[in-house]
Amino acid sequence: MTKDVRLNKYIADCGVCSRRKADEMIEEGLVTINGRKVFELGLKIDPTVDIIKVSGKVIKEATHFVYFLFNKPTQVLTSMSDPSGRPTVADYFAEYKKYRLFPVGRLDWDSEGLLIMTNDGAYSQKVTHPSEEIPKSYMVKINSPLSSGQVDKLKRGVSIVGGKVRARHLAPIKKSGKDTDNNWVSITITEGKNRQVRRMFEKIGIDVLKLRRVSIGRLKIGSVKKGEIRQIPPEMAFRVFS
């Protein structure tokens, strides 16, 4: 007997998008089951019987999962399309269109660094689920040095939109060259809320001038240059969990 699966999970497993984005597409009326448009979240389907269409196209489960590291530049939207015509990560992955990739999580418009791209919906769901508490580390340039009190406050936790969050690690970075007079810190978080790092610093009166994600779990950006793509094997992609 075939086990029914949630519609948003099936859409993600087909490599269309993440589960969260799938829910948005359902609410927007872009998904049909056996020719009937659906809007209700949480519906279950039988993949062996039901015909699912997204934006008028029949979808099928991906049989080959792929994983990419991408060093996202600033002023690039973490999305596969944009109605306003702004640059998106999809612009960099045109030659991989056949895989129907989507970004795992997000990096905001003004941030840069490590972004995972995949067609593996289950992997994406696990990486972004709060219960996994996967550490994400950033290099951050701020407008003034942190006092010991500000450091303590960030480590104890601050309340931002979405709840209370804290820095699991926070330390100054000594940089050489042109940035020697600037203020850089390394910060690690596990929650991954929208614009979390920027909002944490805003909470203590500090402006973020630059923000670069350098690792997710044990997966590091390493030598991947800005705007560069590197396909990685599954065992490397799954380092985020170890």
Crossing angle for the helix pair 19-27 and 121-128, nearest 10 degrees?
100
Question: What does the alpha-carbon distance between residue 215 and residue 139 come to, in Å, rounded to a whole number?
Answer: 10
Identify the helix (H) or strand (E) that includes residue 58: strand 57-58
Long-range CB pairs of 40-44 (<8 Å, 24+ gap) are 41/8, 42/6, 42/7, 43/6, 43/7, 44/4, 44/5, 44/6, 44/7
Question: What does the alpha-carbon distance between residue 236 and residue 102 come to, in Å, rounded to a whole number?
Answer: 18
Q: Which two tokens stand for residue 188?
A: 């690690």
In contact, 134 and 240? CB cutoff 8 Å: yes
> Other C-beta atoms within 10 Å of 1: how many?
5
Which residue out of 4, 50, 108, 110 is catalytically annotated?
Answer: 108
Burial of 124 (0-12, 13-18, 19+ CB in 10 A): buried
110 catalytic per annotation: no
Burial of 64 (0-12, 13-18, 19+ CB in 10 A): exposed
Positions marked catalytic: 108
